Amino acid sequence: MGQKSVRVIKERLLKWALVGAVFCGLGVGVAMDGDAARVLAQPTCVVQNTPFISYAYGSINVNGLSAPAGTLVEAKSPRGDTVGCAEVTVAGSYGAMPIYGEDTSVSPTIAGMRSGETVDFFINGVRANNIPVLLWSGDKDIHQTDLTLLPQGDVSCDGMRNVIDALFILQKEVGMRHATNSCIVPMPADSLYTAFCDVSNDSLCNVVDALFILQCEVGISNVLCPASTP
């Protein structure tokens, strides 16, 4: 496919996203007095616009299932600022979601992404895994990054919590695996994803977490899988 064809497709995607936003009742940016920045209001989030922008889209799954319409997707900077926000309108996909860059041309500075920074994604307020990692640049282009919200304890990043995850943690305890902050699929043979390891809520990743996962597998309740209320 030629570069011209790719550009045409991307332009159409942006137009469709804008039309969809209008028909879904999402707020449209309104210029602020004497300020180039604008505020984009949505039913459940507010993002401050800047002239610097990029777009993200992709699939979105929660615990192995397509995320339903109404699911909230947020993009945040490394400083915790919300720089993009959208609601899922079609189950299993999101975007094109604007992600705004920092604007230092106004006072006070409008918070946003900086060139080369990694965008963090959240699904309904919970940190999500995204593949591939999105490094922001104000290129006004569309970038695909697929979002997944994994169950707590899924250190193998396969979308499930089971005995495999307990095994990974035990292997870490005896030096056969090392911790990584990246949820890589497939997970390298010597790694495990530590962000979802501490299922016992003691700020550690160790044999206790493996035990809790195994207990859940055989129906023994604990803080990870509490007993259901009759």
DSSP strand pairing (53-62 vs 93-100): antiparallel
Note the pLDDT tens digit of each residue in 85-138.
Answer: 999 999 999 989 999 999 999 999 999 999 999 999 999 988 888 888 899 999
Note the pLDDT tens digit of each residue in 151-183.
Answer: 889 999 887 899 999 999 999 999 999 998 777
Degrees, nearest 5: CA angle 73-78-80: 60
DSSP state for residue 187 in the 8-state scheme: P
Cβ atoms < 10 Å from Cβ of 30: 10
Domains in the chain: boundaries = 3-149, 152-230
Q: Is the peptide bond before 179 cis (omega within 30 degrees of 0)?
A: no
pLDDT band at 4 (very low <50, low <70, confident <90, very high): low
pLDDT value for 19? 36
DSSP strand pairing (178-180 vs 46-48): unpaired
Cβ atoms < 10 Å from Cβ of 118: 12
152-230 is classed CATH 1.10.357: no
Tokens found for residue 134:
């999105």
Taking all residues of the chain, what is their mean pLDDT, rounded to a whole number?
A: 81
Note the pLDDT tens digit of each residue in 46-83.
Answer: 899 999 999 999 999 987 789 999 999 999 999 999 99
DSSP state for residue 85 in the 8-state scheme: E
- Buried/exposed code over 153-162 (b: 16+ C-beta within 10 A; e: otherwise): bbbbbbbebb
pLDDT value for 39? 29
pLDDT band at 42 (very low <50, low <70, confident <90, very high): very low
